[in-house]
């Protein structure tokens, strides 16, 4: 299957493809200079030059830059200590596309900075709305590649159209050693014939629906990173009963957000400062304290 490509601006064909298949690819959303800037910022973050990140190691001076990056799979909420990351999450090109796809009023809920060095495992089949539940099914992820993302270094895979089923799948035990998770979404009757490899070149973005089944496999290279900046957004009209802190109260409206386009209809509630940057563990257990802090 050929993905729908967004070129200069969002087209009706792009919108129709997203509605039917649940994802889009946007080449060259950022240029090489911007890629280099984000890679440099990633290194500054893991060197503790931007502030505290829960889970970073102390002995940064004993390791080369490459060895240091290899220590981590990802960091959640880097925008809380990096204005640069926040600025890229609010990229005008991305905001314009999301405004055309979802709503004129869009808010950013979360950022993640992936390093995924050699040998790092992937994430099992999942739907992002399982973790970040909007009220109007408007959640959308934007996966911005800082390196070429290929099969051998752990690119994304998607099941086109799986978002249209409109329900969140149960989680079952994971038996695939390429996944970091202890559990995996039950993909039911889908088979490998339904899986589509979403390989992209650096500087490109993959935009995908919050109900779309997607996963990544292990980075099997010996010297290649698969860095990416991933951000999650929703319509500003949707309140967000996010269980990021372990609170099961479904009426909570998560307000640790920032707007990327339009107006915030809930601005009267004010904003909160709830989340902190945190290193993603190598084993993902959706019941542990890490997930109560980070929400993923």
Between 295 and 206, the higher pLDDT residue: 206
- Write out pLDDT tens, residues 134-155: 999 999 999 999 999 999 999 9
For residues 110-126, give the mean pLDDT. Answer: 96
Q: Give the pLDDT of residue 2.
A: 67
pLDDT digits (tens, 9 = 90+) for 232-284: 999 999 999 886 644 445 557 999 999 999 999 999 999 999 899 999 988 77
For β-strands 106-114 and 228-235, DSSP reports them as antiparallel
Model confidence, pTM: 0.92
3-state secondary structure 182-209: CEEECCCCCCHHHCEEECECCCCEEEEE
Tell me yes or no: is domain 12-294 CATH 3.30.830.10. Answer: no
Those residues with Cβ within 8 angstroms of residue 247's Cβ, 6 or more apart along the chain or in another chain: none
* Residue ranges per structural domain of the chain: 12-294
Q: Whose CA is closest to 89, among 18, 29, 28?
A: 29
C-alpha pair distances (Å), 236 with each of 54, 82, 144, 239, 247: 29, 23, 22, 7, 22
Residue whose entry in the numeric block shows the structure tokens 């240029």 = 31
pLDDT in tens, 4-41: 778 778 999 999 999 999 999 999 999 999 999 999 99
Q: Is the pLDDT of residue 211 over 80?
A: yes
Interval 154-201: pLDDT, tens: 999 999 999 999 999 999 999 999 999 889 999 999 999 999 999 999
How far apart are alpha carbons 155 and 153 in whole angstroms? Answer: 6
Helices assigned H by DSSP within 23-126: 32-46, 65-70, 83-89, 92-101
At 9 the pLDDT is 85
């Amino acid at each position: 299957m050929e993905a729908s490509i967004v070129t200069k601006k969002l087209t009706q064909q792009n919108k129709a493809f997203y509605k039917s298949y649940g994802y889009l690819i946007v080449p060259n959303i950022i240029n090489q200079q911007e890629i280099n800037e984000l890679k440099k910022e990633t290194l500054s973050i893991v060197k503790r030059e931007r502030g505290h990140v829960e889970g970073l190691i102390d002995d940064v001076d004993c390791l080369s830059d490459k060895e240091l990056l290899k220590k981590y799979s990802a960091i959640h909420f880097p925008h809380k200590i990096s204005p640069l990351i926040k600025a890229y999450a609010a990229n005008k090109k991305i905001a314009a596309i999301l405004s055309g796809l979802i709503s004129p009023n869009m808010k950013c809920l979360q950022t993640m900075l992936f390093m995924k060095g050699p040998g790092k495992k992937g994430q099992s089949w999942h739907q992002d709305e399982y973790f970040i539940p909007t009220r109007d099914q408007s959640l959308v992820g934007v996966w911005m590649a800082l390196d070429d993302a290929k099969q051998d270094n752990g690119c994304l895979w998607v099941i086109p159209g799986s978002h249209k089923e409109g329900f969140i799948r149960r989680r079952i035990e994971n038996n695939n050693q390429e996944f970091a998770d202890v559990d995996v979404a039950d993909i039911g009757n889908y088979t490998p014939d339904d899986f589509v490899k979403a390989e992209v070149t650096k500087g490109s973005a993959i935009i995908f629906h919050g109900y779309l089944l997607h996963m990544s496999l292990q980075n099997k290279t010996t010297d290649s990173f698969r860095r990416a900046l991933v951000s999650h957004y929703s319509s500003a009209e949707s309140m967000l009963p996010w269980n990021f802190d372990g609170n099961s109260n479904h009426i909570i409206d998560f307000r640790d957000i920032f707007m990327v386009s339009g107006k915030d209809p809930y601005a009267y509630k004010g904003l909160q400062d709830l989340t902190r940057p945190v290193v993603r563990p190598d084993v993902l257990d959706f019941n542990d304290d890490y997930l109560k802090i980070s929400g993923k």
